[in-house]
Every structure is written in C-alpha cells, then in structure tokens.
Structure 1
C-alpha cells in the first residue's frame, strides 16, 4: 500500500510567484475552503515525500497573517514556505540571487518622541529544521547564488535608497539583505500556531532603488520568482517528514537510539541499541508506597 504523502503549504503574494511554484507540481487539483472560498492548488512534488498546497494569498502583512492562519487550520501543513520576490538591500547580492531569511524584522514598530523615533524591534527566526534543510540543499547550487540573511518587512514598496525609510532600515536593521511586504504576517501566524515551521525564500528582483521599474521591465521578477521556486523545491526534496507517533523515529541503522519508536509520550527502546548514559525516573506506584513516589 503506497505511503500517504505529507503536506507542505507554499504561500505566494503575486501570480507570477504562484505560477513559478505550480510549474514544479504534478497531478494538480483545486481545493476550495468550504466556508470562505479560499483556493489552493494541491499537487505532488516529484522525487519528494511531499504533496504541496500552493496558495496565492495577495500582498501585505495583514493579508498574509490572516491567510496563513486560515491555511494552518484548514490544511494542517507540516511546514509553511513563503516563496516570492523582494527588493535587495545589499550591493553584493545581485538580481536573481535568492535570500533565505534567517530572521524576519518588522520595521515599523517603535515610539515617536520629541527626541526622535525610538525603535522597538520585533523579529522572528527561521525554523531551525527548515533552515538546516535549506543549507544542505542549496550549498552546491550553481544557477544562482543563495544567501542566508535577515529580511526586513513593512507595508511599503521601497524604491529610493536615499529616503528616510531606507536610512531607518540601514540604521536599525543594518544586516537585512532584502525588503518585502508579507513575511512578518506569515511568521507571526506560524509562531502563534506553534506546530508548523516557517521559512521565507525570496528571489531578488530589484535593488530597492529608483531603477526598480527598469529592472522589472527586463523580466527580473519572473527570473527571481523562478529561482525562489527552484530553491523551495530543492529544500523540500531535502526535508524529511517528522516522525509519526507509533512509527520508527529514525532510520534503524542510524542515530543514538537505533530502532526506537515514538508512542506519543514515550519512546519504546525494547528493540533498540542504546549508546550512552541513561537516566530514568519512576513515576508509578510501588507496593507499600503511600503516595506512589
């Protein structure tokens, strides 16, 4: 009997990003949320253990947060990827390169005082599990350069490197390599849900400067979206599903607990080879004990 594939949700803000991801899937069907009408394309990712639900959610942090929460409760994905384009903030990261967000900064939090604007930063870190899969999958890529850097997020399109906003980012979020409009909503929703991990994957389509429109006219957005989608596919092919309660937690030939199974709240070591110290606490009732301790 074939194994049922596990689900990953891939969120996009633009149709060209959505189409770039959709192009990698087979056996695609349309899903419709029974109450709200939200659409998703569910397809198989060849050479991977995953089925992928792609949702074109639209632009902006509030939309991203709302739709991410809806997708989490509707489709119960094991991981959430946000895949698309962004403006580059670093001169050494070129158009078409891909940035994997190690941190997501929300750039508008703070307090305005007579002494100036006092920043109150808010940030979310990438899922360690997903980031590790990304580093393994993208370490030898040659089609584009990949960078693991923070990303800045705000409900604004930046097209002026000399603007007050650009200076604000340079001063307070100096390590940010790109800017876009959705990641903080996605990562906050995933963080509050507490189950799935999130990873942000952005292809650089412009340099967040006055030449943004000119870059777009050269086809930089489809190129950046295609590279981001290719990076997402490589990561998913590297990513292993989480163990299912009652099934082997690791390959029986590998790891410190060879052959163990996970039963929901305990590990069964009866068929295991265990190397290392082991500490156990008795929590049952011994004959003669009055309180079971």
Structure 2
C-alpha cells in the first residue's frame, strides 16, 4: 500500500469532481495495492481450522494463499472441481475450544460473508464405531458441557443443534453418489467417510470409561466422534449467522485417536489430510454458489 500527500486544493468557481484525493495541508490518500484490489472479499465456503496441521492440510488440498486483512490472517483462493468454481476463505482460530471458534466464525462472517462455513480438522472417535484415519461428516452436534452439579452427582444437560436442511440434503447427496460409508484413497491407503453426530465440549476425553462418553452414547448412540469446537460453531451460527447470508455449517473430522488412554498425536497429520481431502470432494455439493 502507498500514501500520497496533498498540500491543498483551490477552486475559483464552477463544478469540481475530486477522485482519489484529499483536501488540506498534510492530507493523505490511501492507494490500494493491486493484490488487495483483486480480493473479492466474498467467499462461497468459509473454513475454520484449529491446529497448524489442519490449516496446512486445507491450504495444500485447495491451493490457498495467505493474505492478512484488517490485521487478521486468512488463506483464500478459487477451486475448480468437476467444473464447479468455488471461492474459499480459511481462517485458523487463535486457540482450541468453543470461544476461539466463535471469534473465528465472526471474523470470517464479517470479512468474507461465506454462504457455508465448514469446521475442518481432527477429532476423537469412539471405537469400534469409527477407526483412526476415518473421516466423520457431521450436520448435527450435541454440546455436553452444560450440567448441574450436586453432592455426589453430575447431571448433564445436552444442547442439540442441527444445521439447516439445505446443508443436510447436500451431505446426503454426497453419500448417495459415493456410498455410505464412502471409501476414499489418499496416498495409496484407503479410509472410510461416514456421517455421524458430533459430541462437543471443552473437555479432552482420554478414558474409554469416561462418564462423558457414557452420557453421549446414552443421549444418542449415533454420536461417535467428539471435538472441542463444534459447539462454538453451532452457537455462533445460532446467534449471528442464521440468516439469508449464511446457509449453514458442516463439521468434517478426521479421526486421530479413540478418545481413550491410548490417545496420542501419532496420526494427527494423516487424519487432518483425510479431512481436507473430504472437504475438497464435498465442496461441489454444498449450496454455496451464487
């Protein structure tokens, strides 16, 4: 960006049109660089990631480039998949958890006005429902951290939110064409893609006998993947995005562990790559093209 200075302007009568100018001693004019001018500031799909491995996987899968806007780092670009051209903008949340995800949602919404927002990355799976390396697509999320604590008892109060039907129908169409579970191949190894309900809260689950796991399975036995961010996404959409501007949200989670005592970071990179690969394949089905 460049700045031009102006020491004043004189008009001795008649009409005058001033463009790209400033009036007054020391006045300043801002000139936008060509790269900034080419950014449409409009996206069809907005993507939220949390970890660095998740962000890199999406950038590599979609060929996005970095650009800071208003001091916030984004990655954006255009994809052409099966003849469908899609503008994508991605943000990496500042940290893990529901609150940081809500802030990332707001930054995406204000800056790029996406039609659909996808939360993409890794999550924990409940074995044997889903295996490490598989990918879950969620259009419904159950927030499990709401609770009442009394002497000797914790009473959880699940908060259940579902994305609008237009997104659910798009995901269903994806599975009609690919089968369910769908079978994808990434770098010569196969993994499955399934639809499921996402359990979400701020607790990291690393115990096969966890009370949270038991609660979620009792709440709905189709809950087989958990994360720490989907609740923030669904709450942000409920409060700020539920309008004609944003059609809805979807959660894509590559399973990196079984949410038990064997939880480790060994396959996080692979799980993130699988999730980004599924996002790329899902984009042409999403109702986001204007």
Fold match (TM-score > 0.5): yes
Please, what is the CA RMSD of the aligned residues? 2.1
Instruction: Tell me by how many angstroms 1:241 deviates.
Output: 3.4
Instruction: Tell me by how many angstroms 1:46 deviates.
Output: 2.3
SS in 2 for 1:49: strand
Partner residue, 2:167: 130
SS in 2 for 1:83: strand
List 4+ stretches of structure 1 deviating above 6 A. Answer: none
Cα separation, partners in 2 of 1:125 and 1:232, compared to 1, 3 Å: same
Contact 2:45/2:116 (<8 A) preserved: yes
Contact 2:129/2:224 (<8 A) preserved: no
In 1, Cα distance between equivalents of 2:286 and 2:201 = 30
Partner residue, 1:63: 100
Partner residue, 2:252: 201
In 1, Cα distance between equivalents of 2:153 and 2:270 = 40
2:66 counterpart of 1:30: yes
In 1, Cα distance between equivalents of 2:258 and 2:45 = 30
Cα separation, partners in 2 of 1:101 and 1:112, compared to 1, 3 Å: same
In 2, Cα distance between equivalents of 1:222 and 1:6 = 26
In 2, Cα distance between equivalents of 1:173 and 1:38 = 38
Larger RCO (CA within 8 A; separation ≥ 6): 2
Instruction: Tell me by how many angstroms 1:24 deviates.
Output: 2.2
Instruction: Tell me by how many angstroms 1:173 deviates.
Output: 4.7
2:134 counterpart of 1:86: no
Contact 2:183/2:193 (<8 A) preserved: no
Which runs of structure 2 are paired with 1:36-55 in the superposition (5 Å)? 37-47=71-81, 48-55=84-91
In 1, Cα distance between equivalents of 2:122 and 2:99 = 18
SS in 1 for 2:44: strand
**Larger strand share, 1 or 2:** 2
* Residue-by-residue CA offset, 1:190-221 (whole Å, 9 max, x unaligned): 222213111011111110111112xx32xx21
Runs of at least 5 residues in structure 2 that lack an aligned partner in the other structure: 1-39, 185-190
2:156 corresponds, among 119, 123, 144, to 119
Contact 1:49/1:241 (<8 A) preserved: no
Cα separation, partners in 2 of 1:240 and 1:68, compared to 1, 3 Å: closer
What TM-score does the superposition give when structure 1 sets the normalisation length?
A: 0.73
Cα separation, partners in 2 of 1:117 and 1:221, compared to 1, 3 Å: same
What TM-score does the superposition give when structure 2 sets the normalisation length?
A: 0.74
2:214 counterpart of 1:167: yes
Partner residue, 2:144: 107
Runs of at least 5 residues in structure 1 that lack an aligned partner in the other structure: 244-293
Contact 1:110/1:118 (<8 A) preserved: yes
